[in-house]
Amino acid sequence: MDPCVANRGVSLIDLANRYGTPLIVYDLNLIEENYRSIKDSTGARVLYSIKANPNLAILAFLRKLGSGADAASPGEVFLALKAGFKPSEVLYTGAYLSNDDIKYGIDSGVIFNFDSRRAFERAAALGYKPRLVFFRVDLGYGRGFTPGVTLAGEESKFGMFLNDAVEAYGLAKSLGVEEFGVHAMMGSNVLDPDYFLKIAELLREHAKVIEEKVGIKIRYFDMGGGFGIPYKPGEKPLDLGRLSRLKNLFPGELWVEPGRFIVGNAGYLITRVTEVKRKGSRTYVGVDVGMNVLIRPMLYGAYHHIVACSEGEGTEVVDVVGPICENTDKLAINRELPRVKEGDLLVILNAGAYVYSMSSNYNGRLRPAEVVIYNNEHSISRLRETLDSLTMLQVIPSFI
């Protein structure tokens, strides 16, 4: 399989030549396959996690497939509604929300998933009188792909332990809430299916205690996200067949919030070689994209596989580096690649999640265009920034 050709035979080289580089391309056919596979295997209602990739075309596409939306901020709520999601299809899970954040959610009519009892109290003080409410429970068990991604226990800033959750549900009941959901964040990029089954059991046990102590019935069980994708060669994909055990496990409706699993492997970051520099024993392959677009390797030590769209003679161990004025601006270190020259194209794989959504204009660098492809059609879904983008929201005060 040609790594420089997308799922349905669209040439990434042709797209790069047409739209320029750096360029991010999203394969909607693959996104559709991923969405249907996680939905069918778990039997759950899927709420796409917007933070993974907030591209409006992707949101609208997933809405048409029947997905709901998981939003973590007023901005993500805004994007979900802009893409056509109904407020009842959006679950708003925010941490340490300001009163303005809460009021935006109330005015938007979305479903709240409260991270603490105090957040619910502040919402009630602002006039919030929901029929349905969720609370985020810390199960004391969570796994991330790197130590910095902590999702459970005292070191995690998210959710509340069981005793606090009981109090939160009791308060909601006393204020007239009629329907209840429970939420737990499972992990981050986990490839072990048994892990999710353990989370499901813990969530079910916590919900049972809450129901008994508060005297309510929990109708919706949200296991969050964390479904992983392989980044490194040789990693085995998540065994979705094992996840079929989640069907009918809960005495209510199961919800899941995949983001990376749906879009991660459907994104291609195309970049052009600007220079090959040999410095002592090292070889640096400079490219026209840097950590302002793909920060995951610098932030987490994350791995992204890189392929060359050229047939160089032999291979070479290189550092692939960007144009940012930081020595940490290294997309790959000691990576064996075919020998490349100036003007050659490289494709960075698995760039569909947490790439553009974590990008910036650091060093005055512009963010790339985004293109979506579906079957044999392709179109710009986000325009490339221009230099004017850097000053669009800035004002020089009159006293200067």
**E strand intervals along 95-187:** 111-114, 132-136, 179-183
Amino acid at residue number 198:
K
Of all residues in the chain, what percent are helix, strand and coil, respectively (each to 5)? 35, 25, 40
3-18, pLDDT tens digit by residue?
A: 799 877 899 999 999 9
Distance CA 183, CA 310 (A): 47
The reported pLDDT for the residue numbered 155 is 64
The reported pLDDT for the residue numbered 148 is 47
From the candidate CATH numbers 2.40.37.10, 2.40.110.20, 3.40.50.2300, 1.10.10.10, the one assigned to the domain spanning 265-391: 2.40.37.10
115-168, pLDDT tens digit by residue?
A: 999 999 999 999 999 999 999 999 886 555 455 444 556 667 788 889 999 999
178-214, pLDDT tens digit by residue?
A: 999 999 987 889 999 999 999 999 999 999 999 999 9
6-62, pLDDT tens digit by residue?
A: 877 899 999 999 999 999 999 999 999 999 999 999 999 999 999 999 999 999 999
Tell me which residue of 249, 244, 139, 261 sits closest to 188, measured CA to CA.
261
Domain boundaries, the chain: 28-264, 265-391
Say which CATH superfamily domain 28-264 falls into: Alanine racemase (3.20.20.10)
Distance CA 108, CA 295 (A): 32
**E strand intervals along the chain:** 23-27, 45-49, 68-71, 90-94, 111-114, 132-136, 179-183, 218-222, 253-256, 267-279, 282-287, 306-308, 315-321, 330-338, 345-348, 369-374, 377-382
Tell me the β-bridge partners of 270: 23, 347
Amino acid at residue number 31:
I
- CB atoms under 10 Å from CB of 387, counted, come to 8
Distance CA 41, CA 124 (A): 38
325 tagged catalytic: yes
The model's pTM is: 0.95
pLDDT at residue 67 is higher than 70: yes
Intrachain domains 28-264 and 265-391 with the same fold: no
Catalytic residue among 325, 393, 395, 396: 325
CA dist 86 to 49, 133, 167, 282, Å?
A: 15, 17, 30, 54
